Structure 1
Amino acid sequence: MEHQITCGFIGLGLIGGSIARALRQYHPDYRLIGYDVNREATALAVSEGILDLELSSISSEFSSCDYIFLCAPVSFNDENLLALKAYLSKDCLLTDVGSVKSDIHRHIKELSLEDQFIGGHPMAGSERTGFANSKALLLQNAYYILTPTASVRKEWVEKYRELVTSLKAIPLVITCEKHDYITAAISHLPHVIAASLVNLVKEEDGSEGLMKMIAAGGFKDITRIASSSSDMWQQICLTNRNNILTLLDHYMEALSAIRTEISAADGERIYDFFRSAREYRDSFINASSGPIKTSYTLSIDIADRTGSIANVAAILADHNISIKNIGILHNREQQEGALNIEFYAEESIEKAAAILSESGYPIHEK
């Protein structure tokens, strides 16, 4: 009888849930089991046919696993690993999904589990959290960073790379140290900056709240990530503290430099500041694997009346097109409304544009 692959999940939030959904979609023969302190998440996963078995604790059921994904908040990794070690088969590949890797690698070393651990970090996410918001599409075309220990078997690294590829993500193997410095620069520091910008406007706004009222366009774009989980970002700042502090110091030096140039009214240097940033950003804006992912977005003109958004959503739902995000563009001068729609994949935006155009909606692709 052929061996049935079993995957276990400890934690089933947005990322764990998205991996479980992708496994169910692309490997329907796999057996999936899971535990989460939030029993509603695992119950929902069972009811939707994602999990085969809901567990009430970290127990001997995990001894049958070929893969175990640690997807709980990073602050729980230590105690979860301690509980899991008693049931961990030597033939099981252990991985995680945290956005900081050095900390989990330290826990793994302390427990002498280095020969069966590969750190993992899907470079995907959403401002929405929890299993209810998870989607298999979240992993599509996203970098999935792997940080193997020095002693894990090479064939296991290749096997896990193949599994990640089968989920439509893009595996990239690097060291945990390099991972933490890179993510501090392109993910962790930007979240700190976005949150500080929002807090600055909050403090600077007058009693009429005019800044908040007119905040739109560029400000909302660059501060969108400030809506992410406060608990998660607290943990990231604490576990990747040194890298964030190093880059924060560099950023403050850069701000000080441009402040000096603005103060001196140095037009040439100010121009060079914006030109350099534009040219570098434009060099990866269309690369879905770059630090800024391709955004599959279009906007349409709609009548400014009740039911207009629901109409558009219904048309797309009827054609099985998933919407990643949808919102009204408020900073418009026309009387008609403008609706911004973001999709998960390129084929979705092409299909949606054709369908909405046929339905009489003027399309403005971005």
Structure 2
Amino acid sequence: LFVGGHPLAGKELSGFENADARLFENARYALTPLAPDHPADGRVKAFSQLLEALGARPFLCDASAHDRAVAYLSHLPQLLSTGLASLIAEQSAEDFLPLELAASGFRDVTRLAESPYALWRDICLTNIENIQSALELLIEKLQAVKL
């Protein structure tokens, strides 16, 4: 029995020194069973109970719904954060933009940009169609507010 899973918890920093025993606490953990009868399987129930014991909140959904949702809720924010951090770095080098003026909003929005590039490159390549759709819709929204 294979049940796909995605812990919707993480940090922008990796490595043992950044480990967090409470990482799954109150975090969603998507489970994507391959067949409609899998959620009734005792092994799936046991795994869900294990996740709950770790503090996670299991959520059953099909893989395509998961992939579309995370394109908007996880991948798009990552790309926005990385893009903004890259833009600011370029502008700072080019125009001597005073980064001392960056405050909590900038830090909050760019925190994800610290995530490992190789990890996110691979994630994006595995969900490219959903991410492209999300980006197109976001670009439409940005065009609408462009002054």
Instruction: With the length of structure 1 as denominator, give the TM-score of the two structures.
Output: 0.38
1:217 pairs with one of 104, 120, 139: 104
Structure 1 unaligned blocks of 5 or more: 1-115, 264-366
8 Å Cα contact 1:194/1:222 also seen in 2: yes
Higher relative contact order (CA 8 A, sep 6+): 2
Whole-Å separation in 2 of the counterparts to 1:221 and 1:198: 11
Aligned to 2:45: 158
Shift of 1:241: 0.6
Whichever residue aligns with residue 222 of structure 1, its letter is V
Aligned to 1:297: none
8 Å Cα contact 1:180/1:243 also seen in 2: yes
Aligned to 1:168: 55
1:228 pairs with one of 115, 120, 145: 115
Which structure shows the bigger proportion of residues in helix conformation? 2
8 Å Cα contact 1:120/1:146 also seen in 2: yes
Partner SS, residue 22 of structure 2: helix
Aligned to 1:122: 7
8 Å Cα contact 2:31/2:59 also seen in 1: yes
Aligned to 1:189: 76
Instruction: With the length of structure 2 as denominator, give the TM-score of the two structures.
Output: 0.90
Aligned to 1:140: 25
Whole-Å separation in 1 of the counterparts to 2:128 and 2:93: 34
Whole-Å separation in 1 of the counterparts to 2:142 and 2:94: 29
Whole-Å separation in 1 of the counterparts to 2:93 and 2:59: 47
Distance 1:196 1:207, change over 3 A: closer
Shift of 1:202: 1.9
**Identity between Structure 1 and Structure 2 (%):** 39
Shift of 1:204: 2.2
Whichever residue aligns with residue 163 of structure 1, its letter is L
8 Å Cα contact 2:30/2:58 also seen in 1: yes
Determine if the alignment matches structure 1 residue 240 to structure 2 residue 127: yes
**1:283-302 paired onto structure 2 within 5 Å:** none
Aligned to 2:92: 205
8 Å Cα contact 1:201/1:211 also seen in 2: no
Runs of 4+ in 1 over 6 A off after TM superposition: none
Shift of 1:136: 2.0
Aligned to 1:251: 138
Q: Would you say how many aligned residue pairs link Structure 1 and Structure 2?
A: 145
Whichever residue aligns with residue 161 of structure 1, its letter is S
Whole-Å separation in 2 of the counterparts to 1:192 and 1:208: 24
Whole-Å separation in 2 of the counterparts to 1:168 and 1:135: 13
Shift of 1:132: 3.5
Whole-Å separation in 2 of the counterparts to 1:245 and 1:208: 31
Aligned to 1:329: none
Partner SS, residue 100 of structure 2: helix
Shift of 1:189: 0.6
Q: Output the aligned Cα RMSD.
A: 1.7
8 Å Cα contact 1:189/1:247 also seen in 2: yes
Shift of 1:197: 0.9
Whichever residue aligns with residue 18 of structure 2, its letter is N
